[in-house]
Amino acid sequence: MPLKSTANRTTLVDLARDTGLSHMTVQRALVGSASVRPETREIVLEAAGRLGYRPNASARAMRNGRFNHIALLTSTNWERANLSGHLIQGIDEVLAEQDLHLVFARLTDDALTSGEEMPRIVQQSMIDGLLIKYDNHVPQRMIDHLQRFQIPHVWINVARDVDCVRPDDLGVARAATERLISLGHRCISYFDFSYDPDDADEHYSSRYRYEGYVDAMQSGGLTVRARRLRTGLATQRNALIREEFSAATRPTAVVLCGSESLLWFAHQEAASLGLALGRDIQVITLDGDMPEYLGLTLPHYVVDQVELGRQAARALMRKLEAPTKPLPPVLVPFTWVEKGPALAPPP
């Protein structure tokens, strides 16, 4: 009959008694210490499985000061914290390698800035560190609380001076523009209808992508042709696209920033003028996979969300080892997907 403690839970003492080994040897075997011979470790692991041994997380936390839990802190506002399953997959892969577990803390903006909720997350959730997915309009009080409680944390998809992991938005816009220039395009437009010039706290990507495009155009001695405006009015957006496509010196190529709906609008306006994207006007998008239902096979760049999650988790591992040491920003490159060939301008 298996030996059990009075609390009906197998302990290290039970394993030592069952295997005939010392308490210290059993403990070292369970943590994979090199001082324990492989055959001895096998004996201990077999007994642990047979007796249903489970490590006491609370006791382990008291011994080594770690809870082995990482929280992914995010907002209930999806516009500020858009989570993808691939991002979570990348985070979980790295944490699993370190025998760490991922927990979610999804709070309203009021809770994130509360003087009560933030310390509750840190002190009562038994976590070792935070990954923060809060893309824009980050409340200053939330930042103040994080600094006050000094819990190791890394921001995801936020441009900060330290302790952040984000896609290389400036680099991808520059690369897309340079690729078009290398193909012979000289009249290259830039579309971004998410930009709000009056919003100082908008997501950094709008500003960085524009700067990357401008840098490539100016380096090539070319004229900047940017259409940047945040508008929810399809008629206004379509009018700007049509105006650009019907200009006397219309663009032969476009760097397009935005959702797949923007690509659809561009496709509609081009077709209304007897033009075809990918034939008369080369398009490179920066925002994800090409939607199949449009029937377009255009080259594009995409963020590898799995790799973004991996890099964020690895950055937090470094932060846990040296909590007070600032980490330089980690830039994750975009992936080039040549679903269709990038073409030179039409003759």
Spans of all domains in the chain:
12-55, 69-166+306-331, 169-303
Options 2.60.40.1080, 3.40.50.1860, 3.30.428.10, 3.40.50.2300; CATH of 169-303 = 3.40.50.2300
Query: Token digits for 234?
Result: 């399809």
In this predicted structure, what is the pLDDT of residue 2?
Answer: 41
Question: What is the distance between the alpha carbons of residues 245 and 189, in angstroms, rounded to a whole number?
Answer: 9
Exposure string for 243-278, b = 16+ CB within 10 A, e = fewer: ebbeeeebbbbbbbbbebebbebbbebbeeeebebb
What does residue 141 show for φ and ψ, rounded to 5 degrees? -65, -35
The list of the chain residues with pLDDT below 50 reads 1-8, 58, 61-63
CA distance 132 to 146: 11
Q: Are 324 and 283 in contact (CB under 8 A)?
A: no
CA 210, CA 169: separation in Å to the nearest integer? 9
Q: What CATH number matches the domain at 69-166+306-331, 3.30.2350.10, 3.40.50.2300, 3.30.830.10, 3.30.420.40? A: 3.40.50.2300
pLDDT (tens digit per residue) in 107-148: 777 766 665 555 566 555 567 889 999 887 777 777 777 777
Q: What CATH number was assigned to the domain covering residues 12-55? A: 1.10.260.40
Q: Quick check: pTM over 0.85? A: no
Supply the pLDDT for residue 72.
92
- Classify residue 22 by its DSSP letter: -
Q: What per-residue confidence (pLDDT) applies to 293?
A: 59
